[in-house]
Structure 1
Amino acid sequence: MSLTGKHILSSDLFDRDELERLFELAEVLVPVARGEQVTRALEGAVMASLFFEPSTRTRLSCESAFLRLGGAVTSTTGSEVSSLAKGESLADTSQVISGYCDLAVMRHPEVSSIHEFAAVTNIPVVNAGNGAGEHPTQALLDMFTLHREFGRLGKSMDGRRIALIGDLRHGRAPHSLMKLLALYEDLTIVCIAPESLGMPQELLELAVSHGHRIEESHRPSIALKEADAVYATRLQTERFADKPLPYSDEFRVDRALVSQVCRADAVIMHPLPRDSRPGANDLGADLNGDPRLAVFRQSDAGIPTRMALFASVLGVADEVRKSLRPAGWYRPEYTRPDDAPFYKS
């Protein structure tokens, strides 16, 4: 299956072969993402960056990825500073934008928005998050991270025990991730959430239909044991309005919990942002420096993964490989103070 010209609205689009092709290209592009090599495979192409909901990582990662490929970016952020504030429809916006650009990346708080936008444009559209729906590019970089982390540990993706913990009902990142996990074999997927925030039933049924084992739990201190990977997510407070938040400190994935129940070689992930304030029921900042914490390696994976996706959607994957050359500018050593020793090598 070729991705050239395709809309990337859902993780449904991918099969395992396509994932492996994307990840092979992403590995080639890691030095470009780090500023060590250069490609101009998309020179002259223009991406529309349309973020009608707050974003830091996804917006900057998508824009950086397109720029690293040699393309240009034009952007708008927030409905209040676009013509949507004047009553323009998404359909009209879409058709206008398609006359300006070669590809559009959009985030919007309404689930149906990305489908409305894509239905009336002739350029590829990439979903950067549609309300509580999906976030397929996040799922791609999450899977790329899992492949790299398990590869470092001498493990394959198949046969693993993967724990997802947090607000699994409203979290679009775990929704898209579940669809990609279903493409692998013999997984045990542990969904840990308060009763009212569990994974949607249709996604559980999808995993079961692919032969995977599903376990549901409300007790992190029990369910996280023996997990090969722990994928934590924050409480999606923006989806609750004024309702009370059904969350307790049991769901705080911090040093105390990890030290008590997690494997010594567990991979700990989070799509970010996390609430790092003291007492927050999220992934604890006291895990910084723990070699199992992969969140910044995961975040770094966003640029090469999205570069691989954009190159594939615009049909220049082969050109990328041919056009690589060394960068001519200064780059610092690619490490951070809290990076694990193996990451610095």
Structure 2
Amino acid sequence: MSSSTAAPGHSPITTAGPLSLCAREPHVPADRLVAEMVPPPRFDAVRFETYMPDPNQPSQSEAVSVLSAFAGGLGGAHASGAGKRRWFSKKPAAPVGPRGVYLDGGYGVGKTHLLASLWHATPAAPEHKAFGTFVELTNLVGALGFQQTVKTLGNHRLLCIDEFELDDPGDTVLVSTLLGKLVEAGVALAATSNTLPGKLGEGRFAAADFLREIQGLSAHFRPLRIDGEDYRHRGLPEAPAPFTDEQVAKAAYATPRATLDDFPALLEHLARVHPSRYGALTEDIAAVCLTDVRAVPDQSTALRLVVLADRLYDREIPVLASGLPFDRLFSEEMLKGGYRKKYFRAISRLTALARDAKGLVSH
């Protein structure tokens, strides 16, 4: 039954109208933050076997081999008790390799796919391994407190951190200290990160920056370079042209669980919701419909939009829009500045979601 067809005795589903992100102000309890530290829906089914290495980039195939072996090495005793003493004693019985990996590469080369595959491949129960973004991890510390976070994550075998925010010095020091405590507790670590401000290319800078910023933990990490171009745009057409306001609104009314918002109003609403809650903001949403998309007015607004784009992409929520195309969201100045890597990632991901949304209009 189509969304515009009503069953006998019932009103059409479209008469209720679309939902609105601006009407949502989610509150996320601390215990939910811990329980939700798993790969996001987009990466539920990914595995090393489903990663498609670019044949022109041998580092991608090498990354799969190294990470597969790393996951296999996390089997056996739990990262506490005898297992911890074996891994981290000052005089180990036998030489051991780094107990952490850092995935260094540009956006769209599959770092998150590989990180989630590592989580899935690690032989431990879900409650003994955690996966989250840097923002989610810092919010967990804020919700639980530092010591309770150490206690909560300290019995894990693996902690995966996506998008380590090297451009936030205060939070970087906080998380570095947390990781030091977790290493002492026997937790294996894996991370991807963003480039520091001023580093205008991924190149070889990110790995050195990451290891320096996490201070005394560098000995525990093996940097793993992943070269390549953005897989989301390999051989694919450019982002679809924006639709009209009427097309967007009509699709929103015809699509169950779609939201419809004016883009400038949504940007204002995002300023009132902590970025750690953007995942909850998009919960149970089937599509996001936006009218009057414009260039973002300032950097603070732009960075909030980046987080929203990440959460929408994680949850595979198509985005239908009118106004400017997504590759014109950020000014030339922004795209040349210290956060350029984040902005290009947001453009890449929103473009992919815009392609996914084309069917909402055609149907």
**TM-score calculated relative to the size of structure 1:** 0.26
Which one has a larger percent helix, Structure 1 or Structure 2? 2
Task: Kindly name which structure, 1 or 2, has the bigger radius of gyration based on alpha carbons.
Answer: 2
**TM-score calculated relative to the size of structure 2:** 0.25
